[in-house]
Amino acid sequence: MPAEWEPHEATWLSWPRREGISFPGAYDEVLPALVAMVDALGESELVRINVESESQEKEIRQILRGTDHVQFFTIPTNEPWCRDHGPAFITRCDAPRLAVVDWDYNAWGGKYPPFDLDEVVPTKIASHFDLPVFYPRLVMEGGSIDLNGSGTLLTTTACLLNPNRNPSRSKEQIEQALRDFLGVRNILWLGDGIEGDDTDGHIDDITRFIDRTSVVTVVEEDQSDPNHEPLAANLELLQSMRVEDGAPIRVVQLPMPPRLKKEGQRLPASYANFYIANSVVLLPVFGSPKDEQAVDVLQRCFPTRRIVPINCRELVWGLGAFHCLTQQQPAV
């Protein structure tokens, strides 16, 4: 599976439904962030959007600022989190060929039924392009893993070893599936995720590869914040980790935004939930003085890409941001 910063043919999205459960009573409020996301991707690559019907496609076309770079596919979904229910695109090393890994999907441990439409999205996308599909028969979400594209994968014990995913599989069996289906050989385990994350600790809210040997990881300076201790523990683990050839990992620290709550619930706001496109990086921001610091850190990490900060105070009510919404299709 190529790294996210490698060339894309397209970015996939699954458009939310007004009656869906991801944005209760707030569908109209999240539309500006969604429109800004699609607009920013337009200067970078093709955008392919799953919709439930022709009428939804028509509605979306009226909302977007332009659709010359957008293709629509009538592939209904329950919710919009394409990173988790969408295909994992893999490539052959010896030939320009694309394939799809279709993990089993149970909506983060069965938390949000129904998820029957989401579960079959990868195979439906593959059928549109006549791509081969591999079925590991393992519950997995795209946001639970991050790869450097040359053999190393990052994940968390909190998520992948949670009994609500694969209770009959051991850690060794899960690691073997990752090696078999994603072509990795070096698997690095962090611990817990951030407060408010209903995915049980997805890696894409805490630590991300930015090149083969470097990561950014979020840190919480406030020692009274529940995120301080687990993020400090993850930072300590990273400082002794190495990639597949034994090179040490370079660690760049990224701040956490201030605590963000809605209706008494802490939301999993994180600058780590950015998405790397061909020429831009979509960065969730939250109307905080720390937003500018996050932009500066990521601009140094991606000097050849434009950092696009987009306000996600409303979007994160769905407990995710741009990385959760997107899935890259590699160029072959």
Q: Looking at the predicted structure, is the pLDDT value of residue 243 above 80?
A: yes
Q: Extract long-range pairs of 232-238: CB within 8 Å, 24+ residues apart.
A: 233/191, 233/192, 234/190, 234/191, 234/192, 234/206, 234/207, 237/189, 237/190, 237/191, 238/190, 238/207
Grade residue 94 by pLDDT with cuts at 50, 70 and 90: confident
pLDDT tens readout for residues 257-272: 999 999 999 999 999 9
DSSP 201-221: S-GGGTEEEEETTEEEEEE--
Q: What pLDDT score does 245 carry? A: 98
Assess whether pLDDT exceeds 90 at residue 93. Answer: no
In the chain, where the domains are located: 8-330
**Percent above pLDDT 70 for the chain:** 100
> How does pLDDT run across 284-299, given as a tens digit for each residue?
999 999 999 999 999 9
Q: Which residue has the higher pLDDT, 1 or 65?
A: 1
Instruction: Please name the residues in contact with 27: beta carbons below 8 A apart, sequence gap of 6 or more.
Output: 16, 18, 20
Which tokens hold the place of 275? Answer: 């998405």
CA distance 79 to 330: 23
* Confidence check: pLDDT of 227 > 80: yes
User: Which letter does DSSP use for residue 130 in this model?
Assistant: T
Q: Is the pTM of this model over 0.95?
A: yes
Strands 133-134 and 146-147, by their bridges, are unpaired
Indicate the fold that domain 8-330 takes in CATH: L-arginine/glycine Amidinotransferase; Chain A (3.75.10)
Structure tokens at 19: 């009656």
The pLDDT value given to residue 60: 97
* pLDDT tens for each residue of 120-129: 999 999 999 9
- Cβ(32)–Cβ(304) below 8 Å: no
Active site residues: 324
